[in-house]
Amino acid sequence: MDEQQWTAVVAAATRAPSIHNTQPWRFTATGDRLDLHRDHERALPVLDPTGRQQVISCGVAAEFAAVALRAAGVEAEIELLPASEDPDHLATVRAGAPREVTSADAALAEAIGRRHTERSPFLPRAVPEGLLERVEADAGPLGVWVKTVTGSDEEVATAFLVSRAEELERSSPEYLAELERWLRTDPAAVDGIPVGAVPEDDPATRPSNWLVRDFVASSRTPRTFLPAGDPAAPPPEVERPTVVLLGTEGDDRTAWLLAGRALGRLLLTATVEGLATSPLTQAPDWPATRTRMRSRLSLVGYPQMLLRMGYPSTAGGPVSGRRPVSEVLRFEPAR
Ligand SMILES: Cc1cc2nc3c(=O)[nH]c(=O)nc-3n(C[C@H](O)[C@H](O)[C@H](O)COP(=O)(O)O)c2cc1C
C-alpha cells in the first residue's frame, strides 16, 4: 500500500460520523497496516467522560476504512485494541491480498460519501422489508444486538427518556458550554456541528415524538410559539420514524468499538437503500437515563446507540466538515 492509497482510505474513514463531529482520531500508516488512535485533545469531558461515544465514533471510522479497502480490491481485516499497553491504540486495519470487488462492496463504499446525519423530518413511509433483518445479520457476528423500538409502551418509554435527558442537558451550564464549543457558524468549518445541519426546533414544521438533540439550545432566545402558514390548513403529519437501538452485552472499549463497527455497517446499508438516519443519543448519554432504558426496555446488556431511520423529506448531501487527511494521517516507514 502506498501513500496515495492510504490517503484515499483515510479520507473515507474520516467521513465517519462522530459525536459532535469531534473526529477524535489519528492514523498512522506503516506498510500494509493502518493504526487508529484516539485523540484525547478532542475529548468531551462533560458529555462523554468515559470516552464511550468517541470510541464508538472510532469504531465507525475503522469500519469505513475496511469498506474502502475492499472496494479498492484489497482484503481488509480489523484488529481491535492491538496493543494492551497503549489504551489509545484502538484498532489496526490490515490490508491483505488482492480481491475481486463485488457490486455490494462498491455500493457500500460509494455510500460513505453520501451518508450524513439527517435531522429533518422523515416521510411517513416504512423502511423496506428485510432491511432490519440484514442489519441484525451484520451486527450479530460482531456481538452487537439490534432492537427495533416498537409497540407503544416501548416507544413511549424511550421517547420519554430521550426528552428527559434532553431536558437535563439543556439545564446544565457545563453541558451547554461544551456543546457551544463544537457549534460552528462558518460553513467552511472543518469540524464541529454546522448550524445548517440543525433544523429549527419548531413543532409546526417538525412534529415528532422524537426530539433531536438541540445543538443551539445555549444561543436560542426564548420565543413564543406562532404556528406558521395558514391556520385553517390541516396540521402536518406527526413523524413516525423507525427507531433502532444497538447494544452490547459488555460495556468496555471492545464493546464500544464493536458497536461502532456495527453502526458503520448499518449506516452504509441504510444509505444504499436510500434511507437517512440520525442518532438520538441523549438517553444513553447519562447514567441515570441509560439505566432506566435498560430496565424499561428489559435489555440484556447495555444500550450503545439509538437512531431514527427513515426516508428523507429533503434532498440533501453532507454538510458537516472534516479536517484534511494530512492533519490526521502520518506515514512511518515499514521495518
Ligand atoms: C456516538 C455518536 C453519537 C451521536 N449523537 C448524536 C445526537 O445525539 N444527536 C444528533 O443529532 N447527532 C448525533 N450524532 C451525529 C453527529 O453529530 C454527526 O455524525 C457529526 O456531526 C458529523 O455529521 P455527519 O454525520 O452528517 O457526517 C452522533 C454521532 C455519533 C458517532
Mean pLDDT within 1-21:
97
Helices (H) and strands (E) in the chain, counts: 10, 11
Same domain, 189 and 91: no
Same domain, 327 and 297: no
Q: How many domains does the chain have?
A: 2
19 lines ligand 1 (CB under 6 A): yes
Can you tell me which residue has the cell 462522530? 18
Same domain, 164 and 215: yes
Domain-embedded: residue 122: no
DSSP 60-108: HHHHHHHHHHHHTTEEEEEEES--TT-TTEEEEEEEEEE-PPPHHHHHH
Please name the residue whose Cα sits nearest to atom 1 of ligand 1: 53
| pLDDT value of position 222 | 40
Domain-embedded: residue 123: no
Distance 279 CA to ligand 1 centre (A): 6
Domain-embedded: residue 261: yes
b/e 42-55 (16+ beta carbons within 10 angstroms → b)? bbbebbbeebbbbb
**Residues 275 and 267 sit within 8 Å (Cβ to Cβ):** no
Please name the residue whose Cα sits nearest to atom 19 of ligand 1: 17
pLDDT tens-digit map of 193-243: 998 888 765 555 566 777 777 777 666 544 333 344 555 665 556 677 899
Same domain, 10 and 89: yes
Q: Give the whole-angstrom CA distance, residue 158 versus residue 282.
A: 11
- Please choose from 115, 117, 214, 282 the residue to mutate so as to test ligand 1's pocket, defined by most ligand atoms within 8 A of CB: 117
Same domain, 327 and 306: no
120 lines ligand 1 (CB under 6 A): no
Distance 194 CA to ligand 1 centre (A): 11
Please name the residue whose Cα sits nearest to atom 2 of ligand 1: 19
H or E element, residue 139: helix 131-139
**Cβ neighbourhood burial of 99 (10 Å; 0-12, 13-18, 19+):** middle
121 lines ligand 1 (CB under 6 A): no
Domain-embedded: residue 317: no
Same domain, 100 and 138: no
Q: Give me the residues paired with residue 122 across strands.
A: 312
Same domain, 15 and 144: no
Distance 296 CA to ligand 1 centre (A): 25
Same domain, 78 and 110: yes
Same domain, 327 and 215: no
Domain-embedded: residue 124: no
Residue 257, phi-psi category: left (phi > 0), alpha (psi -120 to 50), beta (remainder): alpha
Q: Give me the residues paired with residue 77 across strands.
A: 94
Same domain, 200 and 162: yes
Segments forming the whole domain that contains residue 54: 3-115+322-332
Same domain, 147 and 268: yes
Q: Give the whole-angstrom CA distance, residue 199 versus residue 216.
A: 10
pLDDT tens-digit map of 108-156: 999 999 999 999 889 988 899 899 999 999 999 999 999 999 877 888 8
Q: Which of 162-166, 176-180, 223-227, 237-241 has the lowest mean pLDDT?
A: 223-227
Whether pTM > 0.75 for this model: the answer is yes
242 lines ligand 1 (CB under 6 A): no
271 lines ligand 1 (CB under 6 A): no
Domain-embedded: residue 275: yes
Please name the residue whose Cα sits nearest to atom 18 of ligand 1: 17
Provide long-range contacts, Cβ within 8 A and 24+ apart, for 6-10: 6/34, 6/329, 6/331, 7/325, 7/329, 8/68, 8/72, 9/34, 9/65, 9/68, 9/69, 9/72, 9/93, 10/34, 10/65, 10/325, 10/328, 10/329
Same domain, 100 and 158: no
pLDDT tens-digit map of 250-278: 999 999 999 999 999 999 999 999 999 99
User: The domain that contains 205 carries what CATH number?
Assistant: 3.40.109.10
Mean pLDDT within 178-206:
83
